[in-house]
């Protein structure tokens, strides 16, 4: 069953996830760090490998070719040893304020979404806005049903924890 437009799917004190249209998920998170650090943590493999993915998972492969047309590839390992691959291509890079890239899970080839990350700094804190655009409502709903909400929340918590050590 499709999720109603503008229904708040999940929210806590710092993270929210909504569905503003039939083909989108909108995620926002306020982080206690300047946007230059958030951008660095989001784009440098040595940082991404420390926060990307849910708790208990490790990032075994973290390849980033940070340029328009450049590819990224991540492979995460679950606590039970299972591995999950993800990949995409950078479409737009405007340091330190914006990134746009495609996202595809190896387990569902051909289902590609476009993520646009916007970083806005206010008083030394950064509001991260991640707008995820899917090809169809079915793709969006499939992502929501996959458990991405909990993984997204844990991932952003891990990013916040890393940023506290970088500040």
Taking a C-beta distance cutoff of 8 angstroms, is the pair 59, 76 a contact? yes
Whether pLDDT at 155 is above 80: yes
Q: What is the pTM for the complete model shown? A: 0.89
Q: In what order do the strands lie in the sheet with 71-77?
A: 8-11, 15-18, 24-31, 125-133, 112-122, 98-105, 83-94, 71-77, 58-64
Say which CATH architecture domain 8-166 belongs to. 2-Layer Sandwich (3.30)
Delimit the domains of the chain by residue range: 8-166
Tell me if 62 sits within 8 A of 52, measured CB to CB: yes
Summarize the confidence of residues 135-145 as an average pLDDT. 93
Phi and psi, residue 134, nearest 5°: -105, 160
CA distance 80 to 151: 16
Looking at residue 13, its pLDDT comes to 52
């Amino acid at each position: 069953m499709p999720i109603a437009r503008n229904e708040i799917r999940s929210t806590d004190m710092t993270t929210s996830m909504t569905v503003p249209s039939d083909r989108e998920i909108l995620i926002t998170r306020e982080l206690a760090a300047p946007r230059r650090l958030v951008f660095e943590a989001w784009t440098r493999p040595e940082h991404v490998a420390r926060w990307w993915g849910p708790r208990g998972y490790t990032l075994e492969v973290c390849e980033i070719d940070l340029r328009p047309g450049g590819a990224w590839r991540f492979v995460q390992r679950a606590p039970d040893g299972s591995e999950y691959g993800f990949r995409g291509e950078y479409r737009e890079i405007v340091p330190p304020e914006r990134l746009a890239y495609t996202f595809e899970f190896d387990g569902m080839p051909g289902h590609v979404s476009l993520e646009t990350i916007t970083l806005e700094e206010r008083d030394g804190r950064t509001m991260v806005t991640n707008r995820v655009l899917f090809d169809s409502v079915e793709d969006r709903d499939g992502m929501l049903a996959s458990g991405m909400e909990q993984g997204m929340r844990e991932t952003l918590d891990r990013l916040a924890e890393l940023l506290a050590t970088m500040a």
